[in-house]
C-alpha cells in the first residue's frame, strides 16, 4: 500500500499543513495519480471544517518514477520545477524519491495507528533519520529492508537515536545490516513489539548502546550474524524479560 504522512507547522505569522503521499516503488506516476492528488487537495481545501482557517496546504506526491505524460504539468513556464498545481491556499508538488544519498528526515515524527512501510527498501549512502520518532501504534514495517553497499555506494546511515517504541508493532523481519550503520543508541522500548526475526547483522553495523528495555518486547531470537554493539549484557546476568536473543549471541556475553 502507499504511505500518507501529515504534519502541521505554525509560526507567529502563518500555518502550513503538509500532506505527503509516498507511492510504492513499482508505481509509475501518471495522469491518473496526479489527478487523484489534485482532487484530494481540492476536496480538503473546500471542506467546510477548514472554511476561514488561515493556512497554506502543501501536498507532495513522492515517487521513484513518473510518466513523460505529466512533464507538462510539472515543468510549467515561470514556475518551479515539480510544482503541478498552484493556488493561493494550496500547492501540489510531484517529486522523485532519492535513495542513494543526501538526507531524508522523519525526525520527531509520530507513527500512531498507522501502517508505514519501508519494506524491501535499500539504504545505500546518505542519512535516513528517525531520531526521536514515536512509534506508538499501528504496524510499521522495515521487513527485508537492507542497509548495505550497492554499486560502489557505501551503506548509508539509518538513525533511530532516542526513538520511542511505545506501542503497536514495528517489524524488522528479514532486515539486513551488512554495511553502513543502524543507530538505536538511547532508544527506549517501553511498550509494543519490535520484531527482528531472521534479521542479519555484520560487524559493528548496528549500535544499541544505552538503549532502554523497560517494557514491551524486543525479539532477536531468530536473528543471525554478529550481535549488535551494546545489545548483549556483559557478565551473563539473567536477560530482561523484554529481550529475546539467539543463544550463540548470549554465550558471547560470558
pLDDT for res 164: 87
Cα–Cα distance for residue pair 183/201, rounded to 1 Å: 13
pLDDT for res 220: 92
Strand 15-22 to 3-10 pairing: antiparallel
Q: In what order do the strands lie in the sheet with 83-86?
A: 3-10, 15-22, 56-63, 90-96, 83-86
Angle CA 78–84–88, to nearest 5: 75
For 73, 213, 226, the CA distances from 199, given in Å and listed in that order, are 43, 19, 11
183, 247, 186, 191: which is closest to 217 by C-alpha? Answer: 191
pLDDT for res 50: 77
pLDDT for res 151: 54
158, exposed or middle or buried, with CB in 10 Å at 0-12, 13-18, 19+? Answer: buried
246, 150, 135: which is closest to 201 by C-alpha? Answer: 246
- HSE value, Cβ hemisphere, 13 Å, CA-based, for 174: 10
For 24, 128, 133, 253, the CA distances from 121, given in Å and listed in that order, are 10, 11, 19, 32
Residues whose CB falls within 8 Å of the CB of residue 229, separated by 6 or more in sequence, listed in order: 204, 206, 207, 208, 209
pLDDT for res 47: 86
Whether the full predicted model's pTM is greater than 0.75, yes or no, is: no
Cα–Cα distance for residue pair 59/73, rounded to 1 Å: 15
47, exposed or middle or buried, with CB in 10 Å at 0-12, 13-18, 19+? Answer: exposed
pLDDT for res 113: 55
20, 193, 180: which is closest to 109 by C-alpha? Answer: 20
pLDDT for res 109: 58
Given a cut of 50, the residues of the chain with pLDDT beneath it are 1-2, 99-101, 252-254
The helix or strand, by DSSP H or E, that contains position 181, with its residue range, turns out to be strand 181-183
pLDDT for res 62: 82
pLDDT for res 17: 80
Which residue matches cell numbers 505569522?
13
Amino acid at each position: 500500500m502507499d504511505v500518507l504522512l501529515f504534519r502541521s507547522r505554525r509560526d507567529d505569522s502563518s500555518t502550513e499543513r503538509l500532506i505527503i503521499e509516498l507511492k510504492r516503488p513499482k508505481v509509475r506516476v501518471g495522469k491518473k495519480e496526479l489527478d487523484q492528488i489534485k482532487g484530494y487537495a481540492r476536496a480538503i481545501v473546500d471542506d467546510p471544517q477548514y472554511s476561514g482557517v488561515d493556512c497554506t496546504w502543501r501536498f507532495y506526491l513522492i515517487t521513484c518514477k513518473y510518466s513523460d505524460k505529466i512533464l507538462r504539468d510539472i515543468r510549467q513556464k515561470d514556475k518551479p520545477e515539480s510544482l503541478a498545481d498552484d493556488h493561493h491556499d494550496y500547492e501540489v508538488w510531484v517529486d522523485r524519491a532519492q535513495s542513494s544519498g543526501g538526507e531524508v528526515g522523519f525526525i520527531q515524527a509520530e507513527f500512531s495507528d498507522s501502517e508505514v512501510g519501508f519494506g524491501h527498501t535499500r539504504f545505500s549512502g546518505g542519512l535516513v533519520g528517525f531520531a526521536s520518532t514515536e512509534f506508538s501504534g499501528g504496524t510499521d514495517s522495515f521487513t527485508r529492508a537492507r542497509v548495505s553497499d550497492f554499486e560502489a555506494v557505501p551503506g548509508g546511515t539509518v538513525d533511530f537515536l532516542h526513538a520511542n517504541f511505545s506501542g503497536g508493532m514495528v517489524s524488522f523481519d528479514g532486515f539486513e545490516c551488512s554495511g553502513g550503520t543502524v543507530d538505536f543508541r538511547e532508544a527506549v522500548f517501553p511498550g509494543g513489539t519490535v520484531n527482528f526475526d531472521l534479521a542479519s547483522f555484520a560487524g559493528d553495523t548496528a549500535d544499541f548502546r544505552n538503549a532502554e528495555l523497560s517494557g514491551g518486547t524486543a525479539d532477536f531470537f531468530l536473528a543471525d550474524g554478529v550481535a549488535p554493539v551494546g545489545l548483549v549484557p556483559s557478565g551473563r546476568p539473567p536477560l530482561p524479560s523484554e529481550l529475546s536473543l539467539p543463544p550463540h549471541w548470549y554465550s558471547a556475553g560470558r
